[in-house]
Amino acid sequence: MSKDAKLALIVSDSAKAQAGAHALRESHPWVSPQDADVLVVLGGDGFLLHVLHEMLEWDRLKPVFGMNLGTVGFLMNGPAGPVPLAARVAEAHRVPVRPLCMHATARDGGTFSYHAINEVSLLRETRQTAKVEVRINGRVRMEELAGDGILVATPMGSTAYNLSAHGPILPLGSRMLAMTPLNPFRPRRWKGAILPESAEVEFRILEPEKRPVAAVADQKEVRDVATVRIAASAEKELTLLFDPGFTLEERIFAEQFQV
């Protein structure tokens, strides 16, 4: 990335992010997001995901350099330091992120399409166990999964909800997806599967009147679904920028060796 790249500053509403932005606003000739080459996002992981989702609606996708002024900051770089921001952006390591596209059909016939950067989750809506048929590339791979639900995660999302559900951590650039059951009752010992990114996954809800299921693409929820189809979106590839030596790949390695 050139040191002459045009930068836009996007700041979370949190008091911490607003305070951090005060000094930054005077340190660089900022442009509007539409005119920028790179978006600099101040806040936490949740706000960064919000910005990425908004950008998916744009005609032109732009690299994003996040700066942590939130809580966890797993997807973010450190806050402002002695190195000028333009130099940090110019030296940054690029990480491609390919989101999932979820197409859900509700029981009433309504259709919904949303992108998911982390994961698509199917979750039971009542005390009744969800029952789901699993198809991959048009072929039934599991006639009935009974449990709290199931999710499909990207490599970036594999350290989020997927990891909490005991799913595998996927290296960035692996072009793989993690399919992880949520508290499975039957088959009791099924731990999930690792799929190629090219796979098209389809879930069909069994007994939906008795066992309603919601589908969630990151923060977007569709209730009472009948079928859900998931595929990686090649035409909507995003780019995250990280300081050298502070990459998301390194953080994913660290997650796997925590004791």
- Give the CATH number, domain containing residue 172: 2.60.200.30
Q: Return the exposure string of 91-124: e unless at least 16 CB atoms fall within 10 Å of the residue's CB, then b.
A: ebeebebbbbbbbbbbeeeeebebbbbbbbbbbb
* pLDDT given at position 244: 87
In a domain, 200, yes or no: yes
**Average pLDDT of every residue of the chain:** 91
Q: Over 80: is that where the pLDDT of 5 sits?
A: yes
Number of domains in the chain: 2
- Asked whether residue 126 falls in the same domain as residue 40, the answer is no
Over residues 99-105, the mean pLDDT reads: 97
Binding-site residues for NAD(+) = 45-46, 50, 118-119, 148, 159-164
- Asked whether residue 109 falls in the same domain as residue 230, the answer is yes
Query: Any residues with CB less than 8 A from the CB of 170 and at least 6 apart, and which?
Result: 153, 154, 155, 158, 176, 177, 178, 194
Q: Please give the Cα distance from 150 to 152 (Å, whole number).
A: 7
Binding-site residues = 45-46, 50, 118-119, 148, 159-164
In a domain, 40, yes or no: yes
Q: Over 90: is that where the pLDDT of 221 sits?
A: yes
Whole-prediction pTM value? 0.86
Two tokens at 26?
A: 């005077």
Two tokens at 27?
A: 């340190």
Higher pLDDT, 96 or 201: 201
Higher pLDDT, 171 or 35: 35
In a domain, 225, yes or no: yes
Higher pLDDT, 17 or 249: 17
Over residues 225-253, the mean pLDDT reads: 86
Q: Over 80: is that where the pLDDT of 3 sits?
A: no
- Asked whether residue 58 falls in the same domain as residue 93, the answer is yes
- Asked whether residue 145 falls in the same domain as residue 248, the answer is no
pLDDT band at 9 (very low <50, low <70, confident <90, very high): very high
Share of the chain above pLDDT 70, in %: 95
In a domain, 1, yes or no: no
- Asked whether residue 94 falls in the same domain as residue 135, the answer is no
| Closest-CA residue to 51 (of 72, 75, 23) | 75
Boundaries of domain holding 202: 100-235
167: left (phi over 0), alpha (psi -120 to 50) or beta: beta
Q: Please give the Cα distance from 116 to 53 (Å, whole number).
A: 8
H helix intervals, the chain = 15-25, 45-55, 85-91, 161-164, 248-256
Q: Over 90: is that where the pLDDT of 208 sits?
A: yes
What does R_g of the chain's alpha carbons equal in angstroms? 20
* pLDDT given at position 209: 96
35, 45, 108, 224: the active-site residue: 45
In a domain, 2, yes or no: no
Is 218 assigned a catalytic role? no
Two tokens at 13?
A: 């509403």
- Asked whether residue 14 falls in the same domain as residue 90, the answer is yes
* pLDDT given at position 143: 97
pLDDT band at 225 (very low <50, low <70, confident <90, very high): very high
- Asked whether residue 115 falls in the same domain as residue 51, the answer is no
Q: Over 90: is that where the pLDDT of 24 sits?
A: no
Two tokens at 4?
A: 């002459």
In a domain, 220, yes or no: yes
In a domain, 58, yes or no: yes
- Asked whether residue 77 falls in the same domain as residue 151, the answer is no
Over residues 79-95, the mean pLDDT reads: 87
- Asked whether residue 111 falls in the same domain as residue 221, the answer is yes
Over residues 241-245, the mean pLDDT reads: 88
